[in-house]
Amino acid sequence: MGFKIGLLGLGTVGIGTAKILLSPEGRHPLIQELEIHRVGVRDISKTRDINLPSDILTTDLEAIATDPQIDIIVELIGGLEPARSLMLKAIAHGKHVVTANKAVISRYGPEIFEAANEKGVYVMLEAAVGGGIPVIQPLKESLGVSRIHSVIGIINGTTNYILTRMQKEGADFADVLADAQNLGYAEADPTADVDGLDAKDKIAILASLAFGGLIKLEDIHCEGIRQVTAADIAYADRLDFVIKLLAIAKCDPNNTNPTTDELQLRVHPTLVPKTHPLASINDVYNAILVEGEPIGQVMFFGPGAGSGPTASAVVSDIMSIAAILKTETEPIAHPLLSCTHQHYCETASMAELVTRFYARFLTKDHPGVIGKLGTFFGSHDVSLESVVQTGVHDRLAEIVVVTHDVKEGNFRQALEEIQSLDVIDSIPSVLRVL
Ligand SMILES: NC(=O)C1=CN([C@@H]2O[C@H](COP(=O)(O)OP(=O)(O)OC[C@H]3O[C@@H](n4cnc5c(N)ncnc54)[C@H](OP(=O)(O)O)[C@@H]3O)[C@@H](O)[C@H]2O)C=CC1
Ligand SMILES: N[C@@H](CC=O)C(=O)O
Ligand code: NA
């Protein structure tokens, strides 16, 4: 018995998926039982890097989502609508859904999973986070044994590619972004990548799985990489750090029930010590470091975007569903594959966060400026780990400060007072340090 696939979207990931399905040799034997039944696109006349019989292509995506012959709908069109409605329609017609769409799942996950649970079908999303890296399934299965304390990831390939090339070549942000788009890494609208929104969607999904509750996107603090300059990358390098866009979900490891405690949820460019395992993750690669009890640290590493790797995750989900369809006669929710979270996780305010900071100041070149910075920081309980004055440019001194662990609220108050001092010209960058 074969399984019929309705593919929605034949772009970067859709083409990669179709290519795997069309060449099953040497892969898992189940793949031979998967058949592309129909493919939905926006423009049938487009030239594509794949040969499919032209009569299976259509622009009527709803007809695919409701086609009684189709077992599994694979949503690879991206964006919120019509992707969400098509998934819901497919579920209502008793079809399983595989998607790479983190934007829809992070916003409408509760609605979609509730509908799927009611209908006894699966919604699988391995490709939505970490591209080809198996991380969703391990979090649902093997890591479910551990109490997870933190998930820290480099989970946007485009920004990691940009930051790596800025670091290695001193390259210009705009040129590197154009390359990432040409390579098929970036979203249709790359602001989602650059402003951290794609990573925010993904950490919402990872946190929900790791901490066993629903996550509201608005609870996640998010900063992108637009404000990261070549100067900061160079200073970080001198101080033995690299700058990475990190997505972080953490609970207090002393609490044994992370589902009811406050979580830290944040995405921001971060100075990462060069000795940290995440510091060496470069280019389009992603990595997710998971820490828990009793597992300790586990790191998942691999290609976080791109046609083939992402398609590999899509097909692995199709295979998991096909395996269940082959062995189960009744549609019952497999407890390790379905999602049944009910409550929303609580999040801690950023003011309460305890972290180290890096800040770069442009000041008048007067004696005693460093002393003044020390005094204002000190009066807010902010102690300094290092202070470097690197020289004078345009009659302004550049001073870089790294703090010890401090409360973010205290640090921000000190900065506000420092900013109003006569000797301060500007504070061009403030970044957190891992
Ligand atoms: N690219 C990557 O590396 C990764 C992407 N993803 C996710 O995978 C999904 C797909 O991304 P990607 O392949 O890059 O996207 P593309 O833009 O390359 O492809 C989108 C495809 O969907 C079709 N499409 C879009 N909107 C419609 C519509 N309204 N009606 C009919 N067809 C439509 C397009 O048709 P046409 O070709 O005719 O224009 C195209 O074939 C997204 O959710 C993305 O976030 C996840 C991980 C990595
Ligand atoms: N635009 C995303 C694609 C994968 O999710 C990225 O750059 O990581
Ligand atoms: Na993945």
What is the domain partition of the chain in residue ranges?
3-131+307-327, 136-303, 353-433
For the segment 123-149, what is each residue's pLDDT rounded down to a tens digit? Answer: 999 999 999 999 999 999 999 999 999
pLDDT, mean of residues 393-421: 95
Q: What is the best residue among 185, 200, 267, 282 to mutate for testing ligand 2's pocket, by most ligand atoms within 8 Å of CB?
A: 185
Ligand 2 in contact with 186 (CB < 6 A)? yes
Burial of residue 83, with CB atoms counted within 10 A of its CB: 0-12 exposed, 13-18 middle, 19 or more buried: buried
**Residue 431 φ then ψ, to 5°:** -135, 150
Exposed/middle/buried for 79, CB within 10 Å: 0-12, 13-18, 19+? Answer: middle
Catalytic residue among 200, 202, 244, 250: 202
Question: Model-level pTM?
Answer: 0.95
CA of 275 relative to ligand 1 center, distance in Å: 37
Residues with CB under 5 A from ligand 3 (ion): 126, 130, 133, 313
Report pLDDT for 260.
57
Q: Pick the atom of ligand 2 nearest to 187's CA.
A: 1
Q: What are phi and psi of 184, to 5 degrees?
A: 80, 15
Q: Give, in words, the CATH class of 136-303.
A: alpha beta
Q: Which atom of ligand 2 is nearest to the CA of 180?
A: 7
**CA 137 / ligand 3 centre spacing (Å):** 8
Which residue's entry shows tokens 């404000």? 227
pLDDT beyond 70 at 168 = yes
How far is CA 95 from each of CA 73, 110, 128, 130, 331, rounded to the nearest angstrom? 7, 18, 19, 25, 11
Give CA torsion, residues 6, 12, 15, 19, to 10 deg: -120
Q: Is the pLDDT of residue 343 over 80?
A: yes
Buried b (16+ CB within 10 A) or exposed e, 389-410: eeeeeeebbbbbbbbeebbbeb
**∠70-71-72 over CA atoms, to 5°?**
100
Q: Could you read off the pLDDT of 259-303 as tens digits, one per residue?
A: 556 899 999 999 999 999 999 999 999 999 999 999 999 999 999
Angle between helix 83-92 and 102-119 (nearest 10): 10
Which ligand sits nearest to residue 312's alpha carbon?
A: 3
User: Where does ligand 1 bind, in terms of residues with CB under 6 Å?
Assistant: 9-14, 40-43, 46, 61, 76-78, 82, 100-101, 127, 131, 184-185, 187-188, 305-306, 310
Question: Ligand 2: which residue has its CA nearest to atom 4?
Answer: 305
The domain defined by 353-433 carries CATH number 3.30.70.260: yes
Protein residue closest via CA to atom 3 of ligand 2? 305
| Complex-level ipTM beyond the 0.95 threshold | yes
Q: What is the largest CA-CA distance in the chain?
A: 82
Please tell me the distance from the alpha carbon of residue 73 to that of residue 88, in angstroms, as a whole number.
Answer: 11
Atom of ligand 2 nearest to the CA of 155: 8
Separation of alpha carbons 67 and 86, rounded Å: 12
Indicate if the pLDDT at residue 226 is higher than 80. yes
Angle at 64 between CA 62 and CA 70, to 5 degrees: 140
Q: In this structure, what token pair is assigned to residue 165?
A: 């090339």
Residues 397 and 60: their CA atoms lie apart, in Å, by 62
Helix (H, G, I), strand (E, B) or coil at 67: coil
Closest CA to 97 of 81, 85, 80: 85
366 or 39, which is more confident? Answer: 39
196 within ligand 2 shell (Cβ under 6 A)? no
The atom of ligand 1 lying closest to the CA of 9 is 22
**19 is known as an active-site residue:** no
Mean pLDDT of 232-239: 94
| Interstrand relation of 384-393 and 406-407 (parallel, antiparallel or unpaired) | unpaired
Measuring CA to CA, which residue among 245, 248, 278, 253 is closest to residue 264?
248
| Known binding-site residue numbers for NADPH | 102
Say how many Å lie between the CA of residue 112 and the centre of ligand 3: 19
Q: Which pLDDT score, from 0 to 100, does residue 172 have?
A: 79
Total Cβ atoms within 10 A of residue 237: 13
Q: Is the pLDDT confidence value at 351 over 90?
A: yes
pLDDT tens-digit profile of 69-94? 999 999 999 999 999 999 999 999 99
Average pLDDT in the chain: 94
> In CATH, what class is 3-131+307-327?
alpha beta
CA distances, 286 to each of 141, 155, 247, 267 (Å) = 21, 5, 11, 14
| Average pLDDT rounded to a whole number, residues 357-375 | 94
**Ligand 1: distance of its center to the CA of 83 in Å?**
10
User: Residue 84 carries which side chain, given as an amino acid letter?
Assistant: R
